[in-house]
Structure formats: structure tokens, C-alpha cells
Amino acid sequence: MKCIVLGAGPAGLAAAVAIRRRSARSAAVTVVERRKSLHDEGFGILLNPFVVAGHSAGGFAWASRVFRRFVRWNGISVFGRGQGSVTLSGHPGWAIARSVLISELRAEAESLGCEITCGRPAAPADLDDADLVIDARGARHDRVPDVSSALVRDSDDLFVWLSTRRAFDCLTFAFAEVDGHLLTAHAYTYRLGHSAFIVEGAAAAWRAARRLAPDETAPADAWVRTVCERLFADVLAGHALDDASPTVQRFRKTGYPEDPTRKSVQVGDRAHPVHFSVGLGTSLAIEDGIVLGDHVAKCRDPREAIVSFDEVRQVRTRRAQRLASRSAEWLSTVTNRWNELSTPELAWSLATRTGQGTASRLKAQDGAWYELISAAAARRTPTVRRDAHPWSPLPANSSVPAPPPGGGLPLSIRPGKLDASSRVELVAVLEAVTERDVLCGTRYVDLRVHSDDLDWAEGQRLAGRVGAIAAADLERGPW
């Protein structure tokens, strides 16, 4: 079998390695990369350590070597409004230089006999002659040379990938306000003396930031780095941002059309772009390549391998995309809670944005944080006796938040028993429907859940998405 891989990123190289290994080197694998070098793009990337450990146990030499070179941390830090930073422990992360990952994958691919060609696109004749074409060319996010262009909508999600010599103890988020809009920085160390520094936000925020540049007519690569250094000066602590030509890009949310002939298959971000704020993209890309290799080895016909691969991967990738989409939604609406939450509360809202996190876990990991956020939630929702408000759905003799004078009608949400997927969806609903009322005190909102979900629901109350919680033995049902 002859196989052509388009793109020598993590997905493409992982697929090449897996196919050669699984086929006992009988498959001819050629990797074609349009760039002249495999080390001229990208800084540091996040990886799931369990994914890498699993591949190491499966005999992949690159995984064993990469596992030993990770930068590791256990927490997230958040810089808020003029209040310094707060750190929440118990959120492990692992990062590595992209060049290191690519180098290790390439070394194993070449040791297995894969042919790797750089500096040219694949020739049409090569594609026609191949039994299987693996498209691993990445998402190819749109470049935005002018953020003020009429072709860019205010709501478009734009980002720029920079780096700095500033070391960070853990994954760090920072927010910069510009004319009522927010830009968010994601920073993490991936190698000694090197950290990724990604800045993202709606186009409206970037347009406001551009007005801070000495020359508003200058192209993006002439002002972005300077303006970001100014906006995030407290986070950078005197360090500069690197990259002489930073490129503003518009995040691509969907993959590319599939090949109707089923001769080619897409892997990685080419098939399912995953927002960088959850750090799952590279892990999913590598998984795609290795799982595809398994299916190619099991099926005699490459077309059968493609069909079975797609069926298996859809469940995993759709869940990851939903988590990433939920994270991106939180970031795009962070302005809604920016004025209402203290830095510790904002950090907890960030930590629970994808439906994860419980009150007991917070208390166990950081008791001081738990007390701080609990006190803030108590101040946000003053309590009265139930008998003063007959409409209250909570049990008799309990304390419930008092409705504001002239406020909206009370709202009780009863989702039934929750699972991991429905928790993600419910957080999205709460942020869209109730969070603003709860934070501004314009409506009383309670969440009635199955007793098994009370701990999770309390975490949502602490995040400011509901005003109160109560137990209810309800069957699974619609919200």
C-alpha cells in the first residue's frame, strides 16, 4: 500500500509512524511538507500526559523521549483587575516545545523508513497514485493583516501567538481592558527560559487596542507586540514579547469538506479545530494519527479503514470540541462578569467553565480559596427566611437569597440527573440565561438537582451562575 501524508505536523508524523509500525513496514509512507523547515513555526504546546504515557507504553519511542522532557505544573493563576494574581492549585498541566515534539516524531518516522520531503506541495501525480491520502495540513486559520477591515466582524475571535522569556509557575490567564472590551492572555512555560504568550479576543477589542499604537495605520506586525507589552506589562514583569512579525489570525471553528471518493482522510485540526484555551488540540491530533494507523492495519481496503476510523473518532473529537467551544464561549463573554466578580471568583468561574469542578474539590485542594469564594458568594446573595417569600422553591425553614426590590420574577431550574455532557450544556445555559441576573442581583435563581449532583451545583453557585441550590430526586428530563 502506498500512503501520502500531507503535512509534517504532530498529526501527520504520528500517522506516518503508526502506519509503518502497524504494517510491519510493508506500507510505503511519504510525508510531504510545504514549509522548508519543520522547526520554523510554533512555540510551546500543551499535551495530555496520559495520552503520551499510553503511547510510550505501546512501544512508541518518541513518546518515551517526550515524556521525560515535559515542563509540569499543578495550578492556574489569574490576573484580575488591579488586584495582582491568585493561584488555584489542583489543575495539572504539561507543556513542551513544539520543535522538540516534531523532532522526536520525525526521528522515529525516518528510523521506520518513512520518506519526508520539505519545501514543496505534493504533486497531483503522487496523489493520484496513492492508495491512501492523509490530509494533516492543520486548520490554516485566516490571517488578518488589518483588524479594522470591513471583512472582519466585531465578534470574530482573533488571536496572536507570541513568546516571552518570562517564566510562569503554572498556566496563567490575564485580562486587559481596552475601551470596555477585554483581551485575554494565555501564558505557560514550555522550556527553561521560554514561555508561550497567546493573546486573544473579539475583533472589537483588537480595534480598540490598535488605537493605542503610535501609528494606527501601521500593519499588525508593526504594532501588535508593542501594544500587547503595554497592556500586559504587570504580567510580563519587565520582560519583552518575542516574534518580530506577530500575525493576527481569525480562529477557524470548522474543518474542511471531506473527500467524496473516500480515498483521503483528514486528521488533527484539519478535521476538527479545537480552541487552544483547553489545550487538547495536539493530543487529539496525535491520537488521530495513531488510531488511523490501527484501522489501516486491520482493514484490507483503505476506504474501509477511513469509514471505521471516522466512526470511532467522532465521539471523542465531538466531546473535545464541545469542551473547547464552551471554553471559548466563556472567554468571549468574560466582559459580562468582569465588573461583578473579584479576582478569586473570576478564577473559579474560569476553572468551572467547562462543567468541571466541585465545591468539595475546591475545599480539599485549597481551603483558603474556598473560604474566600464562599464569603464572596454569601455577600452576593443576602438571605431571608423562606416564610417571607412564599414563592421560594426551597424547603421550609431554610435561608434563601432575598429578591431585589422590583427585580424580575424568581426562576427555578430543574435539570434532572446530570452527566458529564449535560453539565457542560447546563453551564452554557446558566451563563446565557441566569448569570447576569444573579451577579447583578436582579433576579432570584435557584438550581434544583439530584442529590448526587449537589456538590457540583454548589460549585456553580460559588461561580455566580445561580443564587441557591436545593436537592430534588428527579428523573432525567429536559431543563
CATH number of the domain enclosing 157:
3.30.9.20
Rama region for 424: left / alpha / beta (φ>0; ψ in -120 to 50; rest): alpha
Q: pLDDT band at residue 383, thresholds of 50, 70 and 90?
A: very low
Domain end marker among 250, 272, 306: 250
Sign of CA dihedral 100, 105, 106, 107: positive
At 461 the pLDDT is 94
Residues 109 and 9 in one domain: yes
Residue 371: which residues within 8 A CB-CB, separation 6 or more? none
Residues 132 and 8 in one domain: yes
Residue 335 falls inside a structural domain: no
At 39 the pLDDT is 66
205 residue type, one letter = A
At 394 the pLDDT is 42
**Residues spanned by the domain of 269:** 2-73+93-138+256-329
Q: Which residues of 346-379 are buried (b: 16+ CB within 10 A; e: fewer)?
A: bbbbbbbbbbbbbbebbbebbeebbebbbebbee
What cell was used for 35? 514549509
Residue 406: which residues within 8 A CB-CB, separation 6 or more? none
Residues 133 and 263 in one domain: yes
Residues 168 and 268 in one domain: no
At 72 the pLDDT is 93
From first CA to last CA, the distance across the chain in angstroms is 51
Residue 99: which residues within 8 A CB-CB, separation 6 or more? 38, 39, 42
At 25 the pLDDT is 78
Mean pLDDT of the 146-169 span: 90
pLDDT digits (tens, 9 = 90+) for 224-278: 999 999 999 999 999 999 876 688 999 988 888 877 777 899 999 999 999 999 9
Mean pLDDT of the 155-182 span: 93
Quote the pTM value: 0.88
At 390 the pLDDT is 36
Residues 283 and 166 in one domain: no
At 95 the pLDDT is 95
pLDDT digits (tens, 9 = 90+) for 457-475: 999 999 999 999 988 855 5
At 124 the pLDDT is 84
pLDDT at 441 over 70: yes
Residues 433 and 455 in one domain: yes
pLDDT at 5 over 80: yes
Residues 239 and 260 in one domain: no
Query: CATH no. for residue 320?
Result: 3.50.50.60
Domain tally for the chain? 3
Highest average pLDDT, of 75-84, 106-115, 142-151, comes from 106-115
Mean pLDDT of the 155-169 span: 93
Q: pLDDT band at residue 381, thresholds of 50, 70 and 90?
A: low
Domain end marker among 201, 218, 250: 250
C-alpha distances in Å from residue 479, one per residue of 356, 422, 428, 431, 448: 19, 10, 12, 14, 10
Residue 477 falls inside a structural domain: no
pLDDT digits (tens, 9 = 90+) for 415-436: 888 999 999 999 999 999 999 8
Q: Name the phi and psi angles at 265, rounded to 5.
A: -135, 140
pLDDT digits (tens, 9 = 90+) for 104-138: 999 999 999 999 999 988 888 888 889 999 999 99
Residues 199 and 235 in one domain: yes
pLDDT at 398 over 50: no
Residue 479 falls inside a structural domain: no
pLDDT digits (tens, 9 = 90+) for 316-339: 899 999 999 999 999 999 998 998
Mean pLDDT of the 146-167 span: 89
Residue 82 falls inside a structural domain: no
